[in-house]
Amino acid sequence: MNLSQDLQEFLKYPALQKMDATTGQPENENLFDIVSQSVLVIFLTGLYEATRTKENALVIQEQKTTKELLDKMFTNKAAVLIHITEFTKKDGNYINTKLDEVANGYLQVIQQSDYAAALQKEKGLEDLLSSERHTILLFLPPGLKTGELFNHQTIDDNTNKMEGPVSTLMNKIGDAFSGDD
């Protein structure tokens, strides 16, 4: 299972582009879609942040509509929309529509058999998103300043986006020890 890729494919969005940890730019700028990538990774980061405890994960998991889900995930959805709008330079209504589209897509994707089975486990959603953390961070544009949005500065730390044998090992160790990271 790869939630970011499955959601991107379900929504028929262009493939997510990894962000270069050194330059902060997409590895393939020609394929980079600033709106779909920004909205998708903000959604996934918000979902990750909202599910760091078993209790919160269960509350998120119980949401059945796009509005309920986004209201539970983002205590201030307006701030999220402003943040994405300022970064993408797109209209707020358009960004709101895209965020609703991603949330609706998520609600449909998690009903698929692999996800449905995983979510039945005691810490299913929490564990699923913990396993996705590094992948989500690889696609997070630094200019989006997501750590600032969620008041969690380690999100924007470029060391989270580095790849290679040593970096991958360090990220796995960090993921294993991060309860609320």
Q: What's the predicted TM-score (pTM) here?
A: 0.83
CA separation, residue 135 to residues 22, 24, 100 (Å): 17, 16, 22
Full domain range(s) for residue 68: 3-177
pLDDT tens for 32-60 read: 999 999 999 999 999 999 998 888 988 99
Decide: 113 and 120 in contact? Cβ < 8 Å.
no
**How large is the angle between the packed helices 124-138 and 54-61, nearest 10 degrees?**
90
Distance CA 137, CA 126 (A): 16
pLDDT tens for 99-148 read: 999 999 999 999 887 888 888 887 888 888 888 888 888 998 888 888 77
Decide: 160 and 171 in contact? Cβ < 8 Å.
yes
How many structural domains compose the chain?
1
Distance CA 141, CA 86 (A): 13
